[in-house]
Amino acid sequence: MTAALDEPRATARRAPLTRLLRSELRMVLRRPRTLIGLALLAMVPVVAGIGIAIATGSSSGESVGDGLASLVEGNGLLLPIFGLTMSMTMLLPLTGAMLAADALAGEAANGTLRGLLMAPVGRARLLAVKAFGVAAVSLFAVLLMAATGIVAGLLLLGGDGMLTSSGTTLSFGAGLGRVLLTVVLVTVQVWALAAVALAVSAWTEHPLIVVVVSLGVVIVSGVLSVIPALDWLTPALITTSWEAIPEVVKDPLPTATLLTGVLRAGCYILIGYSIALSRMLTRDG
Amino acid sequence: MSGSTEFGTAAGSPAAVPAARTRGLRKVYRGTVAVDNVDLEVPTGAVLGMLGPNGSGKTTTIRMLLGLVTPTAGEVELLGRKLPEGAAESLPEVGALVEGPGFHPFLSGRENLLRAAAAEPHLSTSRIPAAVGAALERVGLAHAANRRFRGYSLGMKQRLGLAGALLVPRRLVVLDEPTNGLDPAGTREIRTIMADLHAAGTTVVVSSHLLAEVEATCTHVAVLNQGTVVAQGELADLLDAGSATLLVSTPEVEAAVDALRDHRIPARSLAEGIRVDLTATTAPEVVETLVKAGVPVHEVRRQRTGLEDLFARLTEDPVDAAELDPTSDPLVPQETR
C-alpha cells in the first residue's frame, strides 16, 4: 500500500508511515530533555555498581544491604537487573510519563500538533506515530540501562555466572537471558504507565499536568497496595506488577507471577490507548 | 516555486466551486458562543481579507475551515469537499499559518521544515530537501536555516511559519495575522508573496487587523463582528456601497452650499471647500449646479469610503446601538439614525 501506487484522486494520498515514524523518532531523540534523561538513566547502574564495589571493598564480609542489593556483590550480571528494578520505583516511570507528556500535550503547547493535523496526518495515525515514539524511546532507555549495567557489573563486580536469590548459580548465557527478560518486563511496565500518561496527554495542553497525574497514579497505587483493608484492590493496581519484577532472579522462574504482571500491563495499555484514541478523534487542534 | 498544481486538475471546474464555504457555522466553547451563523464564501482565485476586532471569531472560523475544530453546528466545505470526511483529500492542498508559527525550539529552521515536510502527503521523500530549501529561500530565511528556532526573532518565526505553509504548491493558503511581528520590509515581502500566490491562481484567505494591508492586497473582504459575518463581498463593491461623497474645493463655500441646497443636494462646508453627499445625485450634476450658480470650482475629488470607515461603521458601538434602538441594524451608519 505505498502511496505511489494509489490513483492520485481515487483515495487520498498519505505521507508514508515509515517516513512519519522516522521523523518522530529523530525529533524525540534530538530533544535535549530526552538526551539528558537517557544519559542520567545510563549512569544509574554505573553509580550503583561503584557504590556496591566501594562498600564491599572497604568492609569485607559485611553485606551491603538487603534483598537484591546483597546479592549483587561479586555477581556482576545482577547489577543491570538491580539497576532496572531500582529505577522502576521512580526514574523509569518518570521517563515514560515525560515522553508521553511531550508527545501530545507538549506538541499541542508549542503549536506543532496543529501542523501535523493540518498536513494532514490522520488523527488515529498520529496517535499511532506518537505511541511508537514513546514506546521506542522507552525501550531504548531500558536497553541502554541494561547495557551500561552489564558492562559496569562485569568490570566493577566481576563474576562469570549469576547467583540467583534461590541460591543456585546460572551459566553466563542463562544469566544474560535473565537480564534480557528483565528488560522486556520492565519495558512493558513502562509502556503501561506511558499509555496512561498518553491518555492524559491527549486531554491537556500542559505537559506538566501529564507528569504530575502519572506520578500521582504511581504514588496512590503504591499507597493503596500497602493498606491491608484494600487487599482486594491489589490485582488492579499498576504497581503490583512492578513489585514482582525482582522475582526474575529466583531460580525456577516464577513464570505465572511474571506473566500476570505482563497481562496487567497489557490491560493498562489497552485502556490507556482507548481513552487516548477517543480523545484524539474529537480534540480541537 | 510556481503555484501551478500538478494534482489540482481533477476537482471539477474551479470557478464554479468556491475554494471554501461555510453554512450556518456555529461554535460554542463552554457556554460562550465564539462563532454563530457564519455563512462565508471564499471564491476560487480570490484574496479574501478577514477583518474583525479581537475576539470577533476570525481565528475560530479559520480553525473550523481547516478542520482543526469541530463546529457545534453548521458545515464546512473545503475545496469542494465536506469536512471532516473530505479532510484527507482537501487539506494536503491547503497551506496554513494559524495562531502563530508552531515549531520545535530545539530544532533549526531547516530541521523543523523537514519534519513538517515529512507529514506532507503530496511531497515525495526524494523531493523533500529541495522543497524545504525552496521554501526557505522564498521567505528569505536561507541564511538562518541552520540556526535553532529558539533563537529566531518574532519576524523570522513568522517567516518560517509561512515557509511551512508554502512547502507544497497549494490551491488555498490561509494566513492568520501573517504580518504579526514583521518589520515594514517583512510586511512588504508578505504582500509580494500574497500577490505571487494570487497571480498563480492560488486562493488566499488572510486575517488581519491592519486595514491598510487588506485594502492593498485583497480582492474580497469579509467583516466579522461578535462571531458573525456582518459584511462580505468584493472589496470594491463594499467600498462603493458606503456613502460616497464629493469633495469640492472652492473659495466661496457659503455660496456653494446655498446653491446646492436650493437644488436639494445635501452639502456641508469644510475649511477649504464643501463635502457633497452623492446618495441622491451624481458628480456631474453637482458640478453643473455649482457652475450655473457662478461658484468657482477649483477641484472636484470623489472620496471613496476607506476600508477604515467601512470597518468602523460595521463593528463599532454595537452595544450603544442596541441600547438606543433594539431594532437597529449594525450595517446602517450611525449618522443616519
What is the rounded CA–CA span in Å between residue A157 and residue A176? 15
Q: Taking 80 as the threshold, does the pLDDT of residue B12 lie above it?
A: no
Contact B88 A120 (CB under 8 A): yes
Which residues of chain A lie closer than 8 angstroms to B94, CB-CB?
118
Other CB atoms closer than 10 Å to residue A282's CB: what's the count? 9
For residue B56, the cross-strand partners are: none
User: Residue B155: its pLDDT value, please?
Assistant: 86
User: What are the backbone angles phi and psi of residue B246, rounded to the nearest 5°?
Assistant: -120, 130
Chain B residue with minimum CA distance to A17:
B119
B167/A contact by beta carbon, under 8 A: no
Surface-to-core class of residue A154, CB atoms within 10 Å of its CB (0-12 exposed, 13-18 middle, 19+ buried):
middle
DSSP β-ladder status, B94-97 and B172-176: parallel
> What is the ipTM, given to two decimal places?
0.84
Chain mean position to CA B188: 16
Residue type, B134: A
The CATH class of the B20-238 domain is: alpha beta
Q: Give residues 184 to 243 of B whose Cβ lies within 8 Å of A.
A: none
**What is the tens place of the pLDDT at every residue in B164-221?**
999 999 999 999 988 887 888 888 888 888 999 999 999 999 998 778 778 888 999 9
Contacts 24+ apart (CB under 8 A), B28-37: B28/B72, B33/B227, B34/B60, B34/B227, B35/B60, B35/B61, B35/B64, B35/B227, B35/B228, B36/B227, B36/B228, B37/B74, B37/B228
Please state whether the peptide bond connecting residue B71 to the residue before it is cis, i.e. omega within 30 degrees of 0: no
Separation in Å, CA of B264 to nearest CA in chain A: 58
CATH number 3.30.450 is the correct assignment for the domain at B245-303: no
Separation in Å, CA of A227 to nearest CA in chain B: 40
B28/A contact by beta carbon, under 8 A: no
Separation in Å, CA of B309 to nearest CA in chain A: 35
Q: Which cell numbers hold the place of A284?
A: 480541537
Q: Give residues 11 to 30 of A whose Cβ lies within 8 Å of B.
A: 12-16, 19-20, 22-23, 26-27, 30
For residue B303, the cross-strand partners are: B245
Spatial contact of B250 and B295, defined as CB atoms under 8 Å apart:
yes
- Annotated domain spans of chain B: 20-238, 245-303
For residue B94, the cross-strand partners are: B172
**What is the tens place of the pLDDT at every residue in B111-165?**
999 999 999 999 999 999 999 999 999 998 999 999 999 999 988 999 999 999 9
DSSP β-ladder status, B172-176 and B203-207: parallel
Please give the mean pLDDT across all residues of chain B: 82
Q: Which cell numbers hold the place of A18?
A: 515509515
DSSP β-ladder status, B41-42 and B73-78: unpaired
Chain B residue with minimum CA distance to A21:
B118
Sheet strands side by side (includes B299-303): B267-269, B273-277, B245-249, B299-303
User: Residue B278: its pLDDT value, please?
Assistant: 76
Per-residue DSSP letter, B32: E
Element (H, E) at B157: helix B154-165
Spatial contact of B15 and B44, defined as CB atoms under 8 Å apart:
yes
Contact A14 B88 (CB under 8 A): yes
Q: Which cell numbers hold the place of B129?
A: 530537501
Contact A23 B7 (CB under 8 A): no
Q: What is the DSSP string of chain A?
A: --GGGS-TTTS-----HHHHHHHHHHHHHHSHHHHHHHHHHHHHHHHHHHHHHHHHHHSTTS---SHHHHHHTT-TTHHHHHHHHHHTTTHHHHHHHHHHIIIIIIHHHTTHHHHHHHTTPPHHHHHHHHHHHHHHHHHHHHHHHHHHHHHHHHHHT--SSEE-TTS-EE-HHHHHHHHHHHHHHHHHHHHHHHHHHHHHHTT-S-HHHHHHHHHHHHHHHHHHHT-GGGGGGGGG-HHHHHHHGGGGGSSS--HHHHHHHHHHHHHHHHHHHHHHHHHHHH---
Spatial contact of A172 and A193, defined as CB atoms under 8 Å apart:
no
pTM given for the model: 0.82
Substitution target in B99, B115, B167, B174 with the highest count of A β-carbons within 10 Å is B115
For residue A102, CA distances in Å to A13, A29, A130, A216 come to 28, 12, 10, 18
**What is the tens place of the pLDDT at every residue in B67-79?**
999 999 999 999 9
Element (H, E) at B36: strand B32-38
Contact B115 A27 (CB under 8 A): yes
Q: What is the pLDDT along chain A (285 residues), one digit of tens a residue?
A: 344 443 444 456 788 999 999 999 999 999 999 999 999 999 999 999 998 888 776 555 455 555 666 677 678 889 999 999 999 989 999 999 999 999 999 999 989 999 999 989 999 999 999 999 999 999 999 999 999 999 999 998 887 788 888 888 888 899 999 999 999 999 999 999 999 999 999 999 999 999 999 999 999 999 999 999 988 888 899 998 898 898 998 888 899 999 999 999 999 999 999 999 999 998 887
Separation in Å, CA of A193 to nearest CA in chain B: 25
